[in-house]
Each structure stands twice: as structure tokens, then as C-alpha cells.
Amino acid sequence: MLVNEPAARLAVLGPGGIGKTSIALTMLHAGGVKSKFEGHSRFVSCEGLTCALLVDTLCIAFGLHKHSKDRLQDLLVFLMGTYTIQPLLLILDNFETLWDADFSETEALLKALGQVPLLSLIITMRGTEYPGGLQWTKPLLTVVGKIDAVAAHNVFLDICGCGDDKLDELL
């Protein structure tokens, strides 16, 4: 979807601790995605942020140091002026932080970001409900579920590189 759509809007949803961030980072580093966005991608953790702080963080990430009264407008003007030919990928991790704090302001922010024609957006978010304010790319991704114990065991061994005996001892 990220490679074939001019501007994909994807939400990776599910309970905490199951790898939503890992899925988003895997998408970011996939060969076709890296080629399409050619270094025009940003990964931002929303943990501990408000919408206003996220906008400030994005302004800094794009080098917008001018301080006006309407930072969101500054950001949108920059994004629409810069990303009319070159696509941009923005990943907002732990998006539930914003949503839980003020869903109406967060919805307005999503709606504003949705105006940028070549902005592909991935959010990771605890829960099963897609946030409003944005038309999500179809087909919608299914909610990421827990994996069974055998699969979790194998994933752990693949990541740590240790032997099965060490894991059994740990467990």
C-alpha cells in the first residue's frame, strides 16, 4: 500500500506490547518504501506529547524555526509547498497518547495533515478503533493480535540469538 498509493494512510492497531512499533519500523525500512521516499521520512514518538507539542516537534524536524502564532499553519504551508512532487512518509508512534488526551484536537490535526497530497501517514495506536478525521487507506489493516506461546518462543529465540536451553532456564 505504501509503495503503490500516492498517499497511504495506515493505522497499526492492537494491545500494548505486541510489536506495533516494530511493524511500522519494518515498513519504514522495506526496500520499496525506502526507494519511494528517498530519505523523506520522519518517525516521531507521540509519548508524552500534546497536539501542540507534536506540531512543534514536526516543525523542528523539518527545520521550521520561525515562531508564528499558528505553528500548524506554518507546518501545513511548508508541507504543501515542499511535498507536491516528492512524497513524504510520517510515522506517529504511540498515537493513543494524543487521542486519549484530546480526541477532537487530534482529529482536527489528522484532518489538517490529510490535506497534504503526497503525505503517507502511519500511526501506531493501542486499541481497535480507527481515529476519525482522516480517510484511511482501504483495505483497512486488521488489528494486530497476540501470538501464541510457541510463536512467541520462536520469535524470542530469533531475536536474542541464544539457545533454547537459555530460554527454558529464563522461563
**Residue-range domain boundaries for the chain:** 9-140, 145-171
Rg (CA), the chain: 18
Residue found under cell 500548524: 72
Q: Would you place residue 154 in the very low, low, confident or very high pLDDT band (cuts 50, 70, 90)?
A: confident
Give me the architecture of the 9-140 domain, per CATH. Answer: 3-Layer(aba) Sandwich (3.40)
Strand order across the 41-45 sheet: 9-14, 119-126, 88-93, 41-45
Predicted local distance difference test score (pLDDT) of residue 171: 63
Strand segments, DSSP code E, in the chain are 9-14, 41-45, 88-93, 119-126
pTM of the model: 0.84
Can you tell me the mean pLDDT for 38-56? 95
